Amino acid sequence: MTHDCAPALSVLGEDEALFFDAVLEFAGAEIAPHVRAMDEAGQLRSDVIRKLFDFGLMGIEIPEDLGGQGGTFFDAVLAIQALSRVDASVSVVVDVQNTLVANALLRWANDDQRRRFLPRLSRDTVSSYALSEAGSGSDAFAMQARAIPADGGWVLNGRKLWITNASEAGLFLVFANADPAAGYRGITAFVVERASLGLTVGKKEDKLGIRASSTCELVFEDCFVPSENVLHEPGKGYTIAIETLNEGRIAIGAQMVGIAEGAFGHALGYIQERKQFGRRIADFQGVQFQVAEMATELEAARLLVWNAARLKDRGEPFLPSAAMAKYHASEMAVRITAKCVDLLGGVGFTNDYPVAKFYRDAKIGTIYEGTSNMQLQTIAKALMRL
């Protein structure tokens, strides 16, 4: 473990700290050499994805008898944080797989669905979570995608936008309204195979950050989904989406902590080597104060994220804690990565140094899985019982 995160790591158990370090070592050996090339190409290497499965990072909470690691939500959060220190594009693949799709299946799938899908997620199948649409971002339940009953199943029609992992996914957890007259209570969750007729993966977005992570449009044109692929039961998609996203936001907080840690670590090294006016940059009090402020913000964000994850694992109420963790970590990551670019000066603005990519990657945290304003609204409602 490195000096820039030692204070917070001291609150981990021995096995947790070893796991964190193991993931960080894996990321340094297997991911770091390819980060810049993947970012420039806007695509993840297939061998990197394969290694995520081989290392057990794609089925962390899935029980061992279904091919997974039998770990905890907190383990998944630690893995996402560690991976994000090296490449947030890779960490978001692990995030969606574990904290959204696998999490939803673990909580709401029946025994047959668990046996059919969870071993695949552990072994070799990337998954994707398809909720957002052009007209339903923060208002996720204003969706227009429709599910119509058919003999033996349902027919889906509509479009989904900004769908993470869409390019690589073999399974999609798709939300569509099966009863528009019932409003959000008609929303239903479906597990859709990539090979399903009527499903098309559209264009990949050309993004500011997390560029190697695919973000695509999905088009459903009379796409048939068998009844046995309905998750939980018709009309329960609203509950599944809300509760899954509440948990997933903790993982986004972890991703932002990892991004900030990565940038901060590089900046610390640079300012202790770079000299101006005959002195190391690190010897100037103004720089030292900036470092102290960043370290404090980072520590606070780590502990907010870890506390929310602990609450979730213990089955205690965690909604306001998750919103606080996601909000603070996302805003903190933007501030800290920007300061790190400043500390490196001109070279920080080039892609020859990693901080530029950390800066670009951080911005998505204030947007996806609930914008910062949505987190503030959640926190305020919890505090004032609105």
From 134, 194, 200, select the one nearest 162 (Cα to Cα): 134
Q: Decide: 109 and 231 in contact? Cβ < 8 Å.
A: yes
pLDDT score, position 140: 76
C-alpha 258/C-alpha 27 separation (Å) is 12
Instruction: Give me the pLDDT at residue 385, please.
Output: 81
Nearest to 200 by CA among 222, 229, 178: 222
Q: Do residues 169 and 193 make contact, with C-beta atoms less than 8 angstroms apart?
A: no
pLDDT at residue 138, rounded to an integer: 83
Query: In a 3-state reduction of DSSP, which class is residue 42?
Result: coil
Residues tagged active-site: 369
Give residues with Cβ within 8 angstroms of 57, minimum separation 6: 23, 26, 79, 83, 94, 98
- Are the C-beta atoms of 270 and 369 separated by less than 8 Å? no
Residue with tokens 């297997």: 30
Identify the CATH homologous superfamily for domain 128-238.
Butyryl-CoA Dehydrogenase, subunit A, domain 2 (2.40.110.10)
What is the predicted pLDDT for the residue at 148?
98
CATH of 239-384, one of 1.20.140.10, 3.40.640.10, 1.20.1250.20, 1.10.357.10: 1.20.140.10
Say if residues 276 and 37 touch (Cβ distance below 8 Å): no
Q: Which of 32, 85, 8 is nearest to 255 (CA)?
A: 85
pLDDT of residue 2: 42
**What residues have CB less than 8 Å from 312, skipping those under 6 apart?**
73, 74, 247, 250, 318, 322
3-125: CATH superfamily:
Acyl-CoA dehydrogenase/oxidase, N-terminal domain (1.10.540.10)
Distance in angstroms (rounded) separating the CA atoms of residues 339 and 335: 6
Two tokens, residue 99? 């904290």
Q: Reduced to 3 states, what is the DSSP secondary structure of residue 55?
A: coil
The domains of the chain are located at 3-125, 128-238, 239-384
Kindly report the pTM of this predicted structure: 0.96
Instruction: Give 10-residue mean pLDDT values along the chain (386 residues).
Output: 53 94 98 98 98 98 98 98 98 98 98 98 98 89 94 98 98 97 96 98 97 98 98 96 96 98 98 96 97 98 98 97 98 98 97 97 97 96 84
Note every long-range contact of 313-317, with CB atoms under 8 Å and residues 24 or more positions apart, other chains counting. 313/72, 313/73, 313/74
